[in-house]
Amino acid sequence: MTVPTAARDVSPHLDDVDTTPARVAAQRPSAEPRLTAAADWALALYRKSVLKQAKFRRIESLMDDPAGRSNLDVGADNGVISYLLRRRGGQWRSADLDSRAVASIRQLVGEEVYQLDGARTPFADRAFDQVVIVDYLEHIADDRAFAEELARILKPGGIAVINVPHLQPRSPLNRLRHRIGLTDEWHGHLRPGYTVEGLRELLGPRFVVERAVTYSRFGSELVDTALNGIYELVRKRSGGASSSKGTVVTEGDLRRHRKQFRLLSLLYPALRLTAWTDRLLPWQPGHKLIVRARRLAAPAKPPREDADVDASTDQYARRFDGRVGSWFLEVQTRLTLAALAGLPRGASVLDVGGGHAQLAPPLIDAGYRVTVVGSDRICGRRLEPWTSPGRCAFEVADLHRLPYADQAFDAVLCYRLLAHSVDWRRLVGELCRVAARCVIVDYPSRRSINIVSHRLFGMKQSIEGGTTRRYAMYGRDEIAGGFEQARFRVAEEWPQFLLPMALYRLGRSARLARAAELAARALGLTRAFGSPVIARADRRSG
């Protein structure tokens, strides 16, 4: 899986050489891992951990051969991952946040183990050919600053292998975890996880994500949840020390709870069998995400978010001519006004990419103060009947860098863009930045007949006179995850039509279309399988 580079330069401008003692020391060759009893207990525990074994297999599959290279691993909890990585050869250094984790890693691998305080590291510029990051980003306050640091310490062409929780806001297993106390706070997570697109945006234009995989589906996660719950119960009863990273099992823990670990050994075949059920759910995304990203020599050219140019043309507007087209816009307007319910008359609304002039006029008539922003001056032409008399404003801007202060508008709307966006998560993040209360978007849903749209695209294009474009589809969890990363929560969704709009255009009967959709809504089919979907996301408090 290859994902294009994101479009924002987040690389620092630092001196190439640093001769401070800490950074000079960081360049010493690493020691071989100790073949002692310290390694014995860690490997014994590793062999009884389904999740750790799966994690290391994925890391090995994505990293370059470390032999002859300078390598760093960050965040490898009790150190067994650090130990296994060093056994593959090459020069290694290790680092982590938690003092107990650092002590445990040092006990296993010896020297060149560092404690970090978050985003900064003590290593020289371009010090490493490869960096392996294991369950670290979600634990630090400023993950964006760490991405900048990663760009600094990696050589051009160097590889970053990054393992993080996979963001799945609707996962029933995550809800179960929270109910038994295994919350993000317990794990020391400052954010619930990431998506591929979120990591791509975070890494910025200094990196290209070359491959991404998820692993640890329902069976494996159920095993991990049960083991974490039992471990926490035992720890509390025995008065054991807690960690800022959730479960960090050290050699001392193993000695104190020898009986429990013997029981784990006996139960391991059953746990392994439970985890094996992951293979019965190959379509289900895993709860863990791992990506391989390459450090580029120079930032990639940022893509331009300009899909609104096509949507602002007269040719595009003709798709909504006639009674059927008027009915489409009537449904869209009714649902949009319902999504804005609760905002006072006179509230400020920003319509991003609204040069199609479908939303601004009814919003103005409803008493809202409307500003439309487009990617090009031509996008304002269809709005001139409202901008000329001063009933609304139109401005031209980079849609990825809107020229407004944080929370400048009560509500932000964005229709017709997500389906054709070059970087939809970045776009969503910017919409959320300037919205004080809510963001409202529309998107084509995968839970609809759109799932076969690629096979019917030629027919759709002929029906719509060549004005249609290929488009991206989204799942509910995907959209919810995009907003979660911007600290917004999808509060409500309104699917618009059960049957494809192109089919209604072909039929040319607004009366039959209304009757068909009325029946579909009464049966709950539109709610379950309708598209496009209008979604409202609200800013989280606190």
Give pLDDT, residue 26.
Answer: 37
Structural domain contains residue 8: no
Of the two residues 233 and 538, the one the predictor is more confident about is 538
Query: 21 pLDDT exceeds 50?
Result: no
Residue holding tokens 């389904």? Answer: 50
Lowest mean pLDDT among 126-140, 296-310, 390-404: 296-310
Q: Are 215 and 51 in contact (CB under 8 A)?
A: no
- pLDDT band of 454, cuts 50, 70, 90: very low
User: Do residues 287 and 376 share a domain?
Assistant: no
- Taking the C-alpha atoms of residue 507 and residue 503, their distance in angstroms, rounded to an integer, is 6
Structural domain contains residue 211: yes
Tokens representing 133 are 């990051």
User: Do residues 515 and 478 share a domain?
Assistant: yes
Taking all residues of the chain, what is their mean pLDDT, rounded to a whole number? 81
Give pLDDT, residue 261.
Answer: 58
Residue 278 carries which DSSP code? G
- pLDDT band of 37, cuts 50, 70, 90: low
Lowest mean pLDDT among 74-88, 213-227, 372-386: 213-227
Last residue of a domain, one of 295, 316, 338: 295
Give pLDDT, residue 183.
Answer: 62
User: Do residues 476 and 396 share a domain?
Assistant: yes
User: Do residues 72 and 124 share a domain?
Assistant: yes
pLDDT tens digits for range 75-110: 876 788 999 999 999 999 999 988 888 888 888 888
| Mean pLDDT computed over 173-185 | 65
| Mean pLDDT computed over 257-275 | 61
Give pLDDT, residue 30.
Answer: 45
Structural domain contains residue 122: yes
| Mean pLDDT computed over 226-233 | 60
Query: 262 pLDDT exceeds 90?
Result: no
User: Do residues 323 and 461 share a domain?
Assistant: yes
Give pLDDT, residue 209.
Answer: 92
Give pLDDT, residue 23.
Answer: 35
Q: Are 305 and 422 in contact (CB under 8 A)?
A: yes
Structural domain contains residue 10: no
Q: What percent of the chain has pLDDT over 70?
A: 72
Query: 251 pLDDT exceeds 60?
Result: no
Give pLDDT, residue 191.
Answer: 85
Structural domain count of the chain? 2
User: Do residues 42 and 178 share a domain?
Assistant: yes
User: Do residues 228 and 372 share a domain?
Assistant: no
Query: 353 pLDDT exceeds 90?
Result: yes
pLDDT tens digits for range 271-327: 666 667 666 766 677 888 999 999 998 776 777 899 999 999 998 998 899 999 999
Query: 139 pLDDT exceeds 60?
Result: yes
User: Do residues 137 and 29 share a domain?
Assistant: yes
Residue holding tokens 């400023």? Answer: 142
The dihedral built from the CA positions of residue 147, 152, 154 and 157, taken in this order, carries a sign that is positive
Domain that residue 249 falls in: 21-295
Q: Are 502 and 464 in contact (CB under 8 A)?
A: yes
Of the two residues 516 and 283, the one the predictor is more confident about is 516
Query: 9 pLDDT exceeds 80?
Result: no
Last residue of a domain, one of 238, 264, 295: 295
Lowest mean pLDDT among 163-167, 278-282, 488-492, 527-531: 278-282
Give pLDDT, residue 254.
Answer: 53
User: Do residues 291 and 313 share a domain?
Assistant: no
Structural domain contains residue 14: no
Of the two residues 360 and 176, the one the predictor is more confident about is 360
User: Do residues 278 and 327 share a domain?
Assistant: no
Residue 200 carries which DSSP code? H
Of the two residues 238 and 151, the one the predictor is more confident about is 151
Structural domain contains residue 16: no
Last residue of a domain, one of 262, 295, 328: 295
In order of 32, 197, 333, the CA distances from 338 in angstroms are: 65, 30, 9
User: Do residues 349 and 427 share a domain?
Assistant: yes
User: Do residues 290 and 313 share a domain?
Assistant: no
Angle at 521 between CA 517 and CA 523, to 5 degrees: 120
Structural domain contains residue 9: no
Q: What percent of the chain has pLDDT over 90?
A: 48
| Mean pLDDT computed over 201-215 | 90
Structural domain contains residue 13: no
Residue 460 sits in a domain whose CATH number is 3.40.50.150
